[in-house]
A and B are shown apart, each in its own frame.
Chain A
Amino acid sequence: MNLLTGSLNIKDKYLKWLFILPALILLIIFAIVPYAWTFGISFYDYSIASFGKAPDFVGFQNYQTIISHPDIWLRFQNTAKFAIAAVTLEFILGLSLALILSDYFKGHRLVLTILVLPMMIAPEITAMVFKEVMFGPKVGLFNYLINTMGISFQGYGRDALTSIILVDAWTWTPFVMLMIIGGFSSVPKTVLESANIDGASWWAKFRYITFEYAKPFIFLALIFRFADALRTWEVIREWLDVPPPLGPNPLNIDTLPSYLYTLGFRAFKTSEMAAVATIMVVMSMVLIYTYLRYLWKVEKHD
Chain B
Amino acid sequence: MIRSSKSKRRLFSLLKKVRFVFIGFWLVVVVLLPLVWIFLTSIKPTEDTLSSTPVLFFTPTLQNYEFGASIIDPYTHEPVFAGIASQFPRFLGNSILIALMSTAIALFAGMLLAYVLSRTKFLGGTALLTFMLTIHAVTPIVFTPALFEIYQKIGLHDTHIGLSLIYATFALPLTVWILKNFFDGTTKSIEESARIDGASTLDILFRITLPQVKIGLVVAAVFAFTIAWNDFIFTLTLTETNASTFVFLADYFDDLLRVGTLAPGPLTSMSIVHMLPSFIFAFLIQRYLLIGFSAGTIRKEVE
Contact = CB atoms under 8 A, between A and B. Distances in A.
A186 B142 CA distance: 37
B217 interface: no
B142 A129 contact: no
A23 B110 contact: yes
A34 B147 CA distance: 6
A243 B286 CA distance: 41
Contacts of A144: 52-54
A5 B195 contact: yes
Nearest to A216: B299
Given A4-B119, A114-B27, A128 B139 contact: no
Interface string A106-136: 0001111111111111111100111111101
Interface string B137-166: 111011111111110000000000000011
Given A48-B148, A261-B141, A130 B23 contact: no
A133 B136 contact: no
B188 to A, nearest CB: 7
Interface residues of B, number: 106
Interface stretch (B33-41, B59-67, B76-84, B86-94): B33-41
B166 to A, nearest CB: 6
A301 to B, nearest CB: 14
B136 A23 contact: no
Q: Point out which of B23, B34, B136, B301 has the most chain A C-beta atoms below 10 A from its C-beta.
A: B34
Interface stretch (A68-76, A94-102, A155-163, A189-197): A94-102
Q: Which secondary structure characterizes the binding site on chain A?
A: helix
Contacts of B226: 119-120
Given A182-B296, A186-B299, A35 B290 contact: no
A13 to B, nearest CB: 10
B146 A37 contact: yes
B31 interface: yes
A248 interface: no
A122 B230 contact: yes
B50 interface: yes
Interface stretch (A14-22, A58-66, A84-92, A204-212): A14-22
B188 A4 contact: yes
Contacts of B182: none
Contact of A20 (B113, B165, B279, B299): B113
B44 to A, nearest CB: 11
A80 interface: no
B130 interface: yes
Contact of A115 (B31, B105, B139, B268): B31
Contacts of A285: 134, 137
Contact of A101 (B23, B38, B122, B230): B23
B247 interface: yes
Nearest to A17: B116
B146 A124 contact: no
A227 B137 contact: yes
A23 B172 contact: yes
A128 B267 contact: yes
B257 A132 contact: yes
Interface string A226-241: 0100110110001001
Contacts of B113: 19-20, 22-24
Interface string A178-194: 11011101100000000
Contacts of B119: 3-4
14 contacts: A3-B116, A19-B113, A30-B143, A34-B143, A37-B150, A48-B148, A97-B22, A100-B22, A109-B287, A125-B275, A129-B271, A133-B41, A260-B142, A281-B134
Interface of B: 19, 22-23, 26-27, 30-35, 37-38, 41, 49-54, 105, 108-110, 112-113, 115-116, 119-120, 122, 130-139, 141-150, 165-166, 168-170, 172, 176, 188, 191-192, 195, 201-202, 204, 226, 229-232, 236, 247, 250, 253-254, 257-258, 260, 262, 264, 267-268, 270-271, 274-275, 278-279, 281-283, 286-287, 289-290, 293-303
Given A23-B113, A185-B295, A274-B145, 20 more contacts: A5-B192, A31-B135, A38-B143, A41-B146, A48-B148, A97-B22, A100-B23, A115-B26, A117-B282, A124-B250, A125-B271, A129-B271, A144-B53, A144-B54, A170-B30, A185-B294, A217-B299, A241-B254, A243-B260, A265-B236
